[in-house]
Amino acid sequence: MRLKEIAQIVSRDFSGDLSAVLKQPLPEARKALKRFPTISDAGAEKILLFTRTAAVAALPSNCLHVPLRLGFGTERKNWAASYREAQAAVRTELRDDCDAYLRAYLLLKRHGEELCKATRPRCEECPVSDECRYYQSTRPDGQLAPRE
C-alpha cells in the first residue's frame, strides 16, 4: 500500500522523476521529500546525504543517543530539538562535505547498534568510554575517570 502511495506521489507531483527535486536548494528539496509517507526532516536529510545531493550532518534517527551520550548536544524532551542540537554539535567537528558526514553517520549507527545500545549499552567494551559523558555519569564506582 505504501509503495503504491509513493509511486502515485512521484507520478503526480514530480512527473515520475525525482532527479529535479534533488537539484533544488536544500530547504526546497527537504520539503519535497517530506511529502512521502514517514519521511521527516531526518529522513529527508538522510536521503540527501546518501544520494550525495547535499552535505548535511544527518544522524541515524534510531541511534541519536550515541552523539548525545558522547557530549554532542544535550538531550531534550522533544526528539526533534535533541536531533537538531546533536546535528549542530557534530557539524562543528567535521569538515563540511558528504564523505565526512557519511562516514560519521555510518560510524555512529554501527556504534549504536553494536556497543552503545539504547538499553543495556556495553560500556566496558567501548573504545571511547573514557570520553563518554554517559559512561562517566553511570560508572559503578561513582568516580569519574581521570582525563589525560
pLDDT at position 148: 44
What is the CA angle 52-10-16, rounded to 5? Answer: 90
Region of 146 on the Ramachandran plot (φ > 0 left; ψ -120 to 50 alpha; else beta): beta
- The predicted model gives 31-48 an average pLDDT of 94
pLDDT for residue 144 is more than 60: no
- The predicted model gives 48-52 an average pLDDT of 95
Grid cell for residue 133: 559523558
pLDDT at position 141: 65
Please give the CATH topology (third level) of the domain spanning 60-148: Endonuclease Iii, domain 2 (1.10.1670)
Confidence of residue 138 (pLDDT cuts 50, 70, 90): confident
pLDDT at position 139: 74
Alpha carbon dihedral 58, 19, 22, 97, in 10-degree steps, equals 60
- The predicted model gives 64-71 an average pLDDT of 95
Residue 95 DSSP label: -
Where do the structural domains in the chain lie, given as residue ranges? 60-148
